[in-house]
Each structure stands twice: as structure tokens, then as C-alpha cells.
Structure 1
Amino acid sequence: MTIVLLIISAIALFLTAVYMSGSWVKYSLTGLFGIALIASLALIVMNDSQHFGMQKVTTTKTVALKSAGSSQLDMLLYQSVGTADQHRVYIYKTTADQKKPSTTTASVKTANQVKTTTGSTKLVTKTTRWTYQSGTAKFWFGIANNDKQLIKRTNTFYVKKTWVVLSTAQAKQLNKLAKQQSATLKARAKAYVQNTVKAAMMKNPSMTQAQLAQLEKQAAAQYQASAMQSMIKTVKQAK
């Protein structure tokens, strides 16, 4: 509405100054329309540069976080934007059956951070926008279409220590490496389990079959985790 007032004031000022004969009415109207013109222009500038009539409003949204990787390993993926890995777009899922992963926005107004948690994995998004303080303010300046203008957005990913944060290129390399070493890892895992069971039986010959089965399961899981961490370290160090 302020822009409309500006236009009307400018037209009225022109018509009054050009077509009205000199009298106190002309001078009064000229002064009135001039003041209205300057005031509306000043308000528009203040609204545009200083967000006059607006206030900052921050909203927080929390969603569950699921692994974005295709393997059984829990993953949070990212894609570097620009050079030297200065900015990242994170790739994630909020449900296990989500077919197309979600991504964070690639914008200078968006900041992303990853934190380790002992609680549930989640994504907390805090968004701050400019909004009009009242309906009156929106009536006067709403035509500028700047309501709910984004100021900043912060995405905080809370993941457990068991999660792995990799780039999409590293994730592909990890899958490739796992396939290449699959046969070797199986043979080594078998030998590791056998040696672990043998050592345990030497210490405690009276172990039951149930105890041996449990030990084999734990040893296999331990070796698998160790081998995976080794491959993850390899792909992270690769250039």
C-alpha cells in the first residue's frame, strides 16, 4: 500500500503543481502531497533496508534421522559444493522406506553441522525469517512480497558414534572396496573366529555349545566391525 501511496502522491503533486493556479489551496495541497511523497518513499526505503515494521521469528523443526546409505552401515552422506570442501549439501532420510533421499539447501544462508549424541538420531532445523509485526504493517508493506523472508537456517544432525559421515564419492568407493575384498574378508573372519574360540576353550574347556555359539557370533561381529572401520579409514584417506 505504501507503493500505491507513493505513486498517487507523485501524480497528485505533479497535477497540483502544473495545473492549479497559484493560491493557498494549491500551496497547501502541494505541501501535503510532497510530505506524503517523501514519507512514503522514506518508509519504503526503511522497510527494504532496515526491515521497518518487521520482526525476526525463529521456528524449530525436529525429524527422525535414518541412514542414507544402501548398506547395513548407518550413514550420513554429503556432497561438497565449491572448492576445498568449504560447503556441503547433506543427504539424509527421515524414514527407512524413503525412496528418494532429502537434501539440505545449497545456500549461503544455510549452515550445517554434525554432532555426536547418545540419544536418538535426529535432524534439528532452526529457521529465522523476517515477518510483519502486525496486520497493519503487512497492509502497508506487504505488496513488496518480502514477508517470511529467510534470514538464516541451521541444520544440526545428531548422530551416534556408530554412524559414519562420508561424501557420496567415498560411499561409492567403500561399497566397491567391500565387494573387492569380500572373499578375503570372509576367509579372514572365519580364521579369526576359529582362533578366538580356540583360545577361549583353552581357558575354559567346559564351555557349553550355547556359549560357543554366542562367542562365535560376537567374534564375527567384532571382526566385521574392525574390517569396516579399516576400509572407512582407507577411503577417507584416499584423495
Structure 2
Amino acid sequence: MILVLLVLSTLALFLTFVYMRQSTMRLTLTAIFGIALVASLVLVVRNDSAHYGMEKVTTTKTTPLKSAGSDQMDLLLYQSVGTADKNRVYIYKQTTDQKKVSHTAASIKTTNQVKRTTGATKLVTKTTRWTYKSQAAKFWFGIADNDHELVSHHNTFYIKKNWVVLSTTQAKKLSTLAKQQAKTLKSRAKVYVGNEVKAAMMKNPSLSKAQLAKLEKAAAARFQAQAMQSMLQQVKTSK
């Protein structure tokens, strides 16, 4: 509506100044329309540059966070935007059976943060937008179509200690490395578990089959974790 007032006051000022004869009425109307023109112009500029008549409103949304990787490892992936790795697009899932992964926006108005937690893994998104303070303000300036204009998105990923954060390039290298070392790791795991069982039996020869099975399972898990940490270290240090 403010733009309509701006146009009408401009037109009225022109018609009054050009077509009316010199009189007190002409001076009065010229002053009124001139003030209306200047005031509407100033308000339009202030609304555009300083969001006059508006206020920032922040909403918070919490969504579940699931691994974007395989079942063997909890992964939070990211893709660097630019060459300096100053901005990242994070890749994740909201449900375990989600076929197509979700990702954060690649925008200068979007910031991301990763925090470790002992609680549930989740994504907390805080969105700030400009909204009109009142219906009157919206009536006057709403024609600019800037209601609910985005100010910023801030994503905070809360992940547990066992989660691994990798770039998509590192994740591909890890997958390739795991396939290359699969046979070697399998044979090494067998030797490792065998040695662990022998050492345990030397300490306690009376171990039952159930105890030995539990020991083998624990030893295999330890070896797998150590092997994965070793591969992760290789991936993170490689160029």
C-alpha cells in the first residue's frame, strides 16, 4: 500500500503544481502531497534497507538423526563448499530406512555446528525470519513480498562419541580401503581371536564353551574396532 501512496502522492503533486492556479489551496495541497511523497519514499527505503515495521522471529525444529553410512559405522558426512573447507553441506538421514539422504542448504545464510552428546542423536535447526510486527505494518509494506524473509538457518548436529565425521571423499576412500584389506583383515582377525582365546585358557583352563564363545565375540569386536580406527587414520591423513 505504501507504493500506491507513493505513486498517488507523486501524481497528485504533479497535477497540483502544474494545473492549479496560484492560491492558498495550491500551496496547501502542494505541501500535503509533497510531505506524503517524501514520507512514503523514506518509509519504503527504510523498509527495504532496515526492515522498518518488522521484527526477527526465531523458530526451533528438532528432528531425529540417523547415520548416513552403513550399519557397521555411524557416519555424519559432509561435502566441502569451496576450496578452503570454510563451509560445509552436511549429509544425514532422519530415519534408518530413508532411501534418499537429506542435506543442509548450501547458502551463506546457513551455518552448521557439530556437538558431541551422551543423549539422543538429533538435529536442532534454528530458523530466523523477518516478520511484520502487526497487520497494519503488513498492510502498508506487504506488497514488497518480504514477509517471512529468511535471515539465517543454524543447524546443530548432536552426535555420540562413537560417531565419525567424514567428508564424502574420505568415505569413498574408506570404503575402497576396506574392500582392499578385507581378506587380510579376515585372516588377521582369526589369528588375533585365536591368540586371545589361548591366553584366556592359559589363565583359566576351566572356561566353558559359552564363556569361550563370549570371549571370541568380544575379541573379534575389539579387533574390528582397532582395524577400523587404523583405516580411519589412514583416510584422514591421506590427501
With normalisation by structure 2, the TM-score equals 0.98
- Equivalent in the alignment of 1:88: 88
Aligned runs of 1:39-188 on 2, under 5 Å? 39-188=39-188
Q: AA paired with 2:40?
A: S
Task: Give the deviation of 1:83 after TM superposition.
Answer: 1.3
Runs (4+) of structure 1 exceeding 3 A deviation are none
SS in 1 for 2:131: strand
Cα distance, 1:72 vs. partner?
2.2
SS in 2 for 1:66: coil
Structure 1 counterpart SS, 2:98? coil
The alpha-carbon deviation at position 216 of structure 1 amounts to 0.4
Residue by residue over 1:73-122, the C-alpha shift from the partner in whole angstroms, topping out at 9 and shown as x without a partner, is 11000000111211111011101111111111111111111111111111
The correspondence of residues 193-204 of structure 1 with structure 2, limited to 5 A, is 193-204=193-204
The DSSP-based 3-state class of the residue aligned with 1:206 is coil
| Aligned residue number for residue 232 of structure 2 | 232
Distance 2:158 2:40 in 1: 48
Q: Cα deviation per residue 1:141-162 (whole Å; 9 max; x = unaligned)?
A: 1111111111121110011111
C-alpha distance after superposition, 1:134-186 (max 9, x if no partner): 11111101111111111121110011111110000100110000000000000
After TM superposition, the structure 1 = structure 2 runs for residues 25-40 of structure 1, keeping only pairs within 5 Å, are 25-40=25-40
Q: In structure 1, the residue corresponding to 2:100 is in which secondary structure?
A: coil
Task: Tell me the equivalent position of 2:20.
Answer: 20
| Rounded Cα–Cα distance in structure 2 between residues aligned with 1:136 and 1:184 | 73
The one-letter amino acid paired with 1:224 is: Q
Structural RMSD (CA): 0.9
Aligned amino acid, residue 33 of structure 1: F
Q: Output the CA distance in 1 between the equivalents of 2:80 and 2:67.
A: 19
Structure 2 letter corresponding to 1:98: Q
Amino acid at match of 1:186: K
Aligned to 2:208: 208
Cα deviation digits, residues 6-47 of structure 1 (max 9, x gap): 011001110111111111111111111111101101111111
For structure 1, the 5+ residue unaligned runs are: none
Task: Note the C-alpha offset of 1:71.
Answer: 4.8
CA distance in 2, matches of 1:181, 1:91: 27
Secondary structure in 2 matching 1:146: coil
Length, aligned pairs only: 239
**One-letter code aligned to 2:129:** R
CA distance in structure 1 between the aligned counterparts of 2:160 and 2:61, rounded to whole angstroms? 20
Alpha-carbon distance in structure 2 between the residues aligned to 1:70 and 1:29: 75
Instruction: Report deviation, 1:70.
Output: 3.5
